[in-house]
Chains A and B, each alone.
Chain A
Amino acid sequence: MSGSLLLQSIILGLLLGGLYALLAAGLTLYFGVMRVVMIAHSAFLILAAYLAWYFHRETGADPLLSLVVTVPLFFVAGVAMQRLLLSRLRPATLTMMSVLLTFAIALTIEGMLGYVFTGTQRRIQLDYSGSNFEIFGANIAAVKLIAFGLAAVSLLGLYLLLKKTKFGQALRATIQHPEAARLLGINTDRIAGYGFGLGLATAAIGGTALSLDSTIYPSLHWHWIGPLMAIIVIGGLGSIPGAAIAAVLLGLSQSLLQVPMGTTWAQTVFYIALFATLMIRPQGFFGGRLAQRF
């Protein structure tokens, strides 16, 4: 492996890891507030990408502008999903049944996308699709950098929201100890709904970022959900910094391993890391008390 290829792979890996981190943060939020493994997360991701594509096709405007609509829309959809669907499930079987329910939602979204937009692969054609600039002999595509920037800014925003605001405190309290949070007068149900909305909003941002530089098709979400779930287990279910670190590390390893192993085998790194984590440290590498039992 030559030096420039190494550098190139590291940059690509970091750019990819940023997107993974944002999406994994969303998954972690759901799990944190409700102990729900949200299979439909990546289906919403693809849905957002389709909306961005559709928006671009219809208006000709930059797909990034579609965020103005999709982020609030997804936030509301997330709150509605939590309040109307997931909260109906029995607490005793919540983990299993929520998996099935969100799985059903994922199938429905995939089917609807296929129905409305057909199974054809779509890609946004932008003027700056092929443009790039060079740093130390490595080329960085403009679209990838935009996607990464979007992910990084959103992640930072999410972090500040959780750390600095009253709502963030309430949300973290709900994640850490719902009963205690309730005793303190926090309306945990409402907070859980907002947590869900926030999680889904990350899918809207991620999907738009994805649509800039990738082909989309309805069943694409299966290719995202596997790596994302591996990331949240490795990061320790429920830990957002853990998920972010795991995401960047795995994105980087995937990109680096692609050179000697080829794309297909490189994807297995997620699953190998997943199994290794469960064998060595089932609670994940950055998880706290929460992860012990799940």
Chain B
Amino acid sequence: MPSASSPGVSGRTGFDRALFGGKALLLVAAGALVLAFPSMAPDAFILSVGVVIASYAALAVGWNFVGGFTGYISLGHAAYSGLGGYATALLIIDGGLNPWVALGVGAVGVAVVAVPIGVASLRVRGASFVIVSIAMVLILLLVSQSWAEVTGGSSGLRVPRPFDEDVLRPEQHERFFYLHVALVVVALLVWWAIDRSRFGMGLKAIREDEDKAQSLGVPTFKYKLVVFVISAFFTALAGGMYALWFGYLDPIFQFSILIGSYMVLMSLLGGIRSLFGPVVGAVIVGYALEFFKNQYGDTQFHLVALGLLLGIVVLFMPDGVLPALGSLVNRFRPKAASIREESAAELLERSEQPRQAEEVSR
């Protein structure tokens, strides 16, 4: 796939300006569409599907703090969304807190819990991190099922409604749709801010080559830990928000490996390095899930579809659809020049390929 020329420009060309304009226009249009969605939805069911997709987007963006910046793939982020849900519910039920306060306090609590988990799993590279992430989901599933006095055990836990009884169900959906969208927007802003910061540069250096980053003086462990905790915080917020909307927590579905893998698939499909990647992935995957369910509801085939889709993404487009589309647009870019934008990993890989390829690119 790498083409011989290396685009990337220092000055603005007309093409860039047009591109920027197009992007802005698309963004505004998308924003308007999202805001208008509740009034366009033909019935409450479609609206509730919208809430689910918005919730997926919030989870995926939360996941992408650690996945996108550091390249550490967590398959067990359902641990933090589940914890966020339970923390919110328990703070309301046992702590008597206002639901929204409970949501915030719960997410902060989950962030605190994430610190020791991060310390344990981030000291070593890759493999242990993944193993711990899966272990977290399994351990929390066991605990939430067994500790019935607190969590309600396998009977589940009902979460009190944050709105009055007289707010009808469709109205609830609408409010929660906007709340979820707001959460996504806030998370995206934070992601964007980190992306442009020195902190973000350090993180991306870790993603591309952790050893080099370390030798260049990036405090890799500290950086990884901080972004991991931020990720847990936003994932917990998304989980808590979902719990408030859905109104019922069942440990099997809260601490499910499947939910964690949805987050990975959505982010990876959209593109973990791009701001909007996880959102796009969430819309595609969320929609596809509903579609499959509607068309082929009665079989276990959705698991196969999910597995195959994940496999295809990993094998053939590990950078996601957005970058793929981006490079497509770049083909139309007039004569590009100079500054190379590619990861050390890609460089390394290319350098292992026959010499001539290297010569062309230099």
**B-contacting residues of A (Cβ < 8 Å)?**
31, 35, 37, 39, 85, 88-93, 95-97, 99-101, 103-115, 118-119, 218, 222, 225-226, 229-230, 233, 237, 262, 264-265, 267-268, 270-271, 274-275, 278-279, 282-283, 292-294
Looking at chain A's contact residues, the main secondary structure is helix
A89 CA to B303 CA in the complex, in Å? 23
Q: Are B73 and A88 in contact (CB under 8 A)?
A: no
A96 touches which one: B71, B134, B145 (CB < 8 A)?
B71
A97 touches which one: B128, B143, B314 (CB < 8 A)?
B314
A111-B315 in contact given A37-B127, A90-B349 (Cβ < 8 Å) = no
Comparing B91-99, B242-250, B305-313, B331-339, the segment that makes contact with chain A is B305-313
B132 contacts the other chain (CB 8 A): yes
Query: Closest CB-CB distance, B294 to chain A, in whole Å?
Result: 18
- A-B pairs, top 8 by smallest CB distance, nearest first, are A111-B303, A114-B300, A107-B307, A108-B307, A92-B345, A111-B304, A104-B311, A104-B310
A99-B123 in contact given A106-B307, A111-B304 (Cβ < 8 Å) = no
Q: Which chain B residues lie closer than 8 Å to A237 at the CB level? A: 127-128
A9 CA to B37 CA in the complex, in Å? 60
B130 contacts the other chain (CB 8 A): yes
Q: Which residue of B lies closest to A279 (CB)?
A: B120
A95 touches which one: B126, B145, B268, B314 (CB < 8 A)?
B126
Contact residues, B265-281 vs A (CB, 8 A): 268
A273 CA to B314 CA in the complex, in Å? 31
Q: Which chain A residues lie closer than 8 Å to B264 at the CB level? A: 100
Q: Are B261 and A115 in contact (CB under 8 A)?
A: no
A97 CA to B307 CA in the complex, in Å? 14
Q: Are A278 and B121 in contact (CB under 8 A)?
A: yes
Kindly name the residue among B124, B301, B346 whose own CB sees the greatest number of chain A CB atoms within 10 A.
B124
Q: Which chain A residues lie closer than 8 Å to B307 at the CB level? A: 104-111
Q: Are A222 and B257 in contact (CB under 8 A)?
A: yes
Instruction: List 9 other contacts, CB 8 Å, given A104-B314, A111-B304, A282-B128.
Output: A37-B131, A39-B75, A103-B261, A107-B261, A107-B304, A229-B135, A268-B143, A271-B135, A274-B135
A96 CA to B308 CA in the complex, in Å? 17
Kindly name the residue among B138, B261, B345 whose own CB sees the greatest number of chain A CB atoms within 10 A.
B138
Query: Closest CB-CB distance, B77 to chain A, in whole Å?
Result: 14
A267 touches which one: B121, B134, B142 (CB < 8 A)?
B142
Q: Are B125 and A97 in contact (CB under 8 A)?
A: no
Q: Are B130 and A37 in contact (CB under 8 A)?
A: yes
Q: Which residue of B lies closest to A266 (CB)?
A: B142
Contact residues, B145-184 vs A (CB, 8 A): 145-146
Q: Are A90 and B146 in contact (CB under 8 A)?
A: no
Q: Are B127 and A271 in contact (CB under 8 A)?
A: no
Q: Are A110 and B303 in contact (CB under 8 A)?
A: yes
Q: Which chain A residues lie closer than 8 Å to B75 at the CB level? A: 39, 99-100, 103
B318 contacts the other chain (CB 8 A): yes
Interface residues on B, range: 35 or more
Query: Closest CB-CB distance, A268 to chain B, in whole Å?
Result: 6
Q: Which chain B residues lie closer than 8 Å to A111 at the CB level? A: 300-307
Looking at chain B's contact residues, the main secondary structure is helix
B39 contacts the other chain (CB 8 A): no
Query: Closest CB-CB distance, A290 to chain B, in whole Å?
Result: 11
Query: Closest CB-CB distance, B270 to chain A, in whole Å?
Result: 15
Query: Closest CB-CB distance, A26 to chain B, in whole Å?
Result: 16
A108 touches which one: B72, B268, B303 (CB < 8 A)?
B303
Q: Are A100 and B146 in contact (CB under 8 A)?
A: no
Q: Which chain B residues lie closer than 8 Å to A225 at the CB level? A: 134
Q: Are B304 and A115 in contact (CB under 8 A)?
A: yes
A226-B134 in contact given A90-B349, A264-B145 (Cβ < 8 Å) = yes
B139 contacts the other chain (CB 8 A): yes
A268 CA to B138 CA in the complex, in Å? 9
Q: Which chain B residues lie closer than 8 Å to A39 at the CB level? A: 75, 134
A107 touches which one: B128, B130, B310 (CB < 8 A)?
B310
Q: Are B301 and A226 in contact (CB under 8 A)?
A: no
A294-B130 in contact given A100-B264, A106-B307, A265-B146 (Cβ < 8 Å) = no
B215 contacts the other chain (CB 8 A): no
A226 CA to B352 CA in the complex, in Å? 36
A286 CA to B360 CA in the complex, in Å? 48
Q: Which chain A residues lie closer than 8 Å to B119 at the CB level? A: 279
Kindly name the residue among A226, A265, A282 whose own CB sees the greatest number of chain B CB atoms within 10 A.
A226
Q: Which chain B residues lie closer than 8 Å to A274 at the CB level? A: 131-132, 135
Q: Are A95 and B310 in contact (CB under 8 A)?
A: no
Q: Are B349 and A92 in contact (CB under 8 A)?
A: yes
Q: Are A96 and B128 in contact (CB under 8 A)?
A: no
Query: Closest CB-CB distance, A282 to chain B, in whole Å?
Result: 4
Q: Are A99 and B310 in contact (CB under 8 A)?
A: no
Q: Which residue of A lies closest to B260 (CB)?
A: A103
Query: Closest CB-CB distance, A218 to chain B, in whole Å?
Result: 7
27 inter-chain pairs at a CB distance below 8 angstroms, sorted by A residue, are: A31-B127, A37-B131, A39-B75, A92-B344, A92-B345, A93-B318, A96-B72, A97-B314, A113-B300, A115-B299, A119-B300, A225-B134, A226-B139, A229-B134, A233-B128, A237-B127, A237-B128, A264-B146, A265-B146, A270-B135, A271-B138, A278-B120, A278-B124, A278-B128, A279-B120, A283-B124, A294-B126
